[in-house]
Structure 1
Amino acid sequence: MTLLQAEALPLSEREERVGEIHRRAKQWRLMDCTEDTLRRMRAAVDQEMNAVEARLAKADEVFAQYVEMGNPSAAEQTLEDINRMSGEWERLKKRLRELDDVIQERHLRTRLVELLGSERRVIAVDAIVLVSILVVVAMTLFEMMVPNLPGATIEVITIVDTAICVMLLGDFFVRLAVSDDKGWYVRNYWLDFVSSIPFYAVLRFGRLVRIARFVRLLRLLRLTRAMRLLLFVFRGLDKLTKTFEINLLKRAVLIALALLLFGALAISALEGKEDQSIGSLGDSLWWSFSTIVTGGFADLYNPSSSTGRLLTVSMILLGLTVTGIFTASLTSVLVGDESDRLEQNQHRFEERLQDVDHKLDLLTGETNGALVALEAVAQAVSNQPSAQALAETLVGSLTSDFCSVQASVHRLDAEQKGLVRLAHHGPDRLAPPEWVPLGQGFVGETAAWLLEQDLSSLDLEPRTQPSMEVQGMRMVCPMVAAQQLLGLLHIVLPKNLASDYLYTRLPMTLAHHAAMALHAAQQE
């Protein structure tokens, strides 16, 4: 549905339509893009990084000159600019790495769809993997919390655990084989491999059984894969995804898990034989968790040996540090760090003020030059012997004298069924077709809407819409004379002129002059 058609809808339907657009925009993710689109995004970000690096190199030279000249104030200001640009470069680098990861994920997903035959089958495999992970984790927790299980039950758990681990290992190696970058896949999914090794089946003999029970805790790491699958399905949890992508937060979680396992193994090995309160796996893990999180205030068990006490002190100190880092990082992500944003806004405001000062200095001369050019073009258009020559002169002047990327004139046919192109300058991909039926495309919609209006009371203004091809703006100017629509002027302005008042008003003025000349030619 076009914008012109939407204007006639009832308010409730328009509200529903706007809500749907907002919902789609809010749920949009990079993974929704094609691989080609992602690569174009990456190229754009890489280009921005190169531009920032060039500005940094120039600022570094200026900084060195100010230092050599003995100008501390200017040097300090330049240093602030260098720090700001360095932060901007770091943000772009993070964005580039995110795009690299998404490109690899998109390629992996595409290859899996090709391998299995459809997206639905890939989703089914993901669902089976998710259920298998939850089953393995549930069995691990059940074995930990229920002591003295019968041998037959342990045997069943071992068989099911081994079968699921083999399946998960197969899933890991299949995805590794179809991934574009094997090193990237191993770096990002090594936890899936480690947590899928059937340790219990391998270490089930003799004294290795006790080690196997501890090692089986690595099954809990499979929850990271389960979380990724859930976040892929439920788009509303994207904020949580970004939260755990923060490097400092990720390291804090990994360190906490490693510290938890180390503390449980160490206290059980040191004093588990003397005190049964920490003799089991569950009790030693609970002691380790309480010591890390509460700083030892849980008072579950007081070590009696010097080594045990030293271990407890180390666990408390490291736990306080890790907990503090985790809390601060999580708060920063969820609440948001406004300092960088305020600094960026301030710098943007200062740049715009400088741009305004520069434009004010040039405005008088630029306006005078534009008025002179406008008068010359209007006179040239009025002196043309035919409509074709008039249109050629108009579009040629717009592209050569007024910096338009593309310009074309379309004339309304006698039967008022469409518009015929009289002249065109600029890339063909930016121009409307030679024949435009009424109601089709930006030009056709505008013409159809104008024909329905009372032109005697209508305030004629150009219609605009973004031009994605040049990151600029498309503009359609009505050519009206004697209260009749004669045609339309279509132009494309570059990004740097799309918001310039002078360059957005001149085409409408020229369109009016052209319409008057065209009407006069028709009367002769």
Structure 2
Amino acid sequence: MPSPVRFIPPSAFELLMMVLSIVSLVAIILHQFGPFTADEKQLLLYLDTSICMILLSHFFYGLFQAPNKKRFLKVHWIDFISSIPAIDVLRYGRIFQVLRVLRMLRVANQVIRHLLKNSGSTMMASMLLVLVVVISGSAIAILMTEAGHPDSNIETAEDAIWWALVTISTVGYGDHYPVTTAGRIISSVVIFAGVSLFAGISGLVASAVLSPRADEQQKATDTNRQKGEQLSRQLGDLHTEVTSLREEIHQLKTLLAESRSKP
């Protein structure tokens, strides 16, 4: 009888890389075939290059953590090649990464249980995904809204990216700001998203820093409880032995008394 195939569900960060690969593919298609201006296409190219850096970082992290690096390279070599930002045609290789994760997603119930079990990493991956989407989407939206306005100071892709980073971090240098109503609405959404995201990320980081201490305290508590249970068992055994000795001593006294009473 053939042994069942062991299913290993994708982690939260593997799902994040899949979504980023899809976003990157869409950005490349829009860059090549979309009716955009030169600055808007440059912004899409910047977005794809940033995603390439994230994908490459994830690839090298997985390679460093893999116990069998040759097998990891054999399985994930297409991920490395498709993440090189300088060669456009290779970026379509990310379709294989998307298809591989989608194939694992066929057993959706196991994936959901796996993600819920690792809620910390799932939440962190979700926040990073939202952060990337908000920065890229707001930069594209603000450039399309503000570029061409006579009073606008956001005219290039670099201006839009810088505005998005400054706005979502709520730093607000004031060197680039929207002048249209639509641009100000976009800024408001980005500010609220930035406050929520960074508050959540700070909470997750604090939880990750404090969780080892909590684990150590829980481990110490479990150890003390086990020692207490062991001591209780030893005391119970000792009490049983003492009771048995008392009975034997009582029996000996009875035998001695009987032997003395005989003529």
Kindly report the root-mean-square deviation, in angstroms, between the aligned alpha carbons of the 2 structures. Answer: 3.9
C-alpha displacement at 1:226, in angstroms? 1.2
- Asked whether 1:190 is paired with 2:18, we answer yes
Which residue of 1 is the match for residue 106 of structure 2? none
Matched pairs, number: 184
- Asked whether 1:290 is paired with 2:118, we answer no
C-alpha displacement at 1:213, in angstroms? 4.0
Which residue of 2 is the match for residue 258 of structure 1? 133
1:230 aligned to 51, 60, 64, which one? 60
Which residue of 2 is the match for residue 332 of structure 1? 207
Is the CA contact (8 Å cut-off) linking 1:292 and 1:319 kept in structure 2? yes
* Greater fraction helix: 2
Partner SS for 1:299: coil
Once residues 296 and 203 of structure 1 are traced to their aligned partners in structure 2, the CA distance between those partners, rounded to angstroms, is 30
Cα offsets for 1:165-197 (capped at 9, x unmatched): xxxxxxxxxxxxxxxxxxx99846524642663
Q: How does 1:259-338 map to 2 (within 5 A)?
A: 259-274=134-149, 275-293=151-169, 295-334=170-209, 336-338=211-213
C-alpha distance 201-185 of structure 1, shift in aligned 2 (>3 A): same
C-alpha displacement at 1:347, in angstroms? 4.2
C-alpha displacement at 1:231, in angstroms? 1.9
Once residues 192 and 318 of structure 1 are traced to their aligned partners in structure 2, the CA distance between those partners, rounded to angstroms, is 19
Q: Which has the larger radius of gyration?
A: 1
Once residues 317 and 187 of structure 1 are traced to their aligned partners in structure 2, the CA distance between those partners, rounded to angstroms, is 25
- Asked whether 1:362 is paired with 2:237, we answer yes
Once residues 303 and 365 of structure 1 are traced to their aligned partners in structure 2, the CA distance between those partners, rounded to angstroms, is 84
Which residue of 2 is the match for residue 515 of structure 1? none
Once residues 190 and 346 of structure 1 are traced to their aligned partners in structure 2, the CA distance between those partners, rounded to angstroms, is 41
Cα offsets for 1:37-79 (capped at 9, x unmatched): xx7xxxxxxxxxxxxxxxxxxxxxxxxxxxxxxxxxxxxxxxx
2:35 aligned to 207, 210, 219, which one? 207
Cα offsets for 1:309-362 (capped at 9, x unmatched): 333233222212211222332343346452354244324423431332133102
Q: How does 1:389-404 map to 2 (within 5 A)?
A: none
Partner SS for 1:277: coil
C-alpha distance 197-264 of structure 1, shift in aligned 2 (>3 A): closer
Q: How does 1:453-468 map to 2 (within 5 A)?
A: none
What is the percentage of aligned positions where both structures have the same residue?
15
Unaligned 5+ segments in structure 2 are 66-119, 245-263
Cα offsets for 1:119-150 (capped at 9, x unmatched): xxxxxxxxxxxxxxxxxxxxxxxxxxxxxxxx
Once residues 143 and 55 of structure 2 are traced to their aligned partners in structure 1, the CA distance between those partners, rounded to angstroms, is 29
C-alpha distance 366-193 of structure 1, shift in aligned 2 (>3 A): farther
- Asked whether 1:246 is paired with 2:121, we answer yes
* Greater fraction strand: 1
Is the CA contact (8 Å cut-off) linking 1:292 and 1:315 kept in structure 2? yes
Partner SS for 1:279: coil
Is the CA contact (8 Å cut-off) linking 1:268 and 1:279 kept in structure 2? yes
C-alpha displacement at 1:365, in angstroms? 3.9
Which residue of 2 is the match for residue 382 of structure 1? none
Once residues 224 and 207 of structure 1 are traced to their aligned partners in structure 2, the CA distance between those partners, rounded to angstroms, is 27
C-alpha displacement at 1:202, in angstroms? 6.3
Q: Which amino acid aligns with 2:50?
A: L
Partner SS for 2:148: coil
Once residues 26 and 133 of structure 2 are traced to their aligned partners in structure 1, the CA distance between those partners, rounded to angstroms, is 20
Is the CA contact (8 Å cut-off) linking 1:194 and 1:218 kept in structure 2? no
Once residues 263 and 199 of structure 1 are traced to their aligned partners in structure 2, the CA distance between those partners, rounded to angstroms, is 14
Is the CA contact (8 Å cut-off) linking 2:124 and 2:201 kept in structure 1? yes
C-alpha distance 231-219 of structure 1, shift in aligned 2 (>3 A): same
Once residues 214 and 304 of structure 1 are traced to their aligned partners in structure 2, the CA distance between those partners, rounded to angstroms, is 20
C-alpha distance 208-226 of structure 1, shift in aligned 2 (>3 A): same
C-alpha distance 339-261 of structure 1, shift in aligned 2 (>3 A): same
C-alpha distance 221-367 of structure 1, shift in aligned 2 (>3 A): farther
2:8 aligned to 95, 100, 124, which one? 100
Is the CA contact (8 Å cut-off) linking 1:252 and 1:322 kept in structure 2? yes
Q: Which amino acid aligns with 2:61?
A: L
Partner SS for 2:153: helix
Q: How does 1:335-414 map to 2 (within 5 A)?
A: 336-363=211-238, 365=240
Partner SS for 2:220: helix
Once residues 323 and 185 of structure 1 are traced to their aligned partners in structure 2, the CA distance between those partners, rounded to angstroms, is 18
Once residues 127 and 208 of structure 2 are traced to their aligned partners in structure 1, the CA distance between those partners, rounded to angstroms, is 14
Cα offsets for 1:418-437 (capped at 9, x unmatched): xxxxxxxxxxxxxxxxxxxx
Is the CA contact (8 Å cut-off) linking 2:31 and 2:41 kept in structure 1? yes
Once residues 279 and 215 of structure 1 are traced to their aligned partners in structure 2, the CA distance between those partners, rounded to angstroms, is 15
Is the CA contact (8 Å cut-off) linking 1:195 and 1:219 kept in structure 2? no
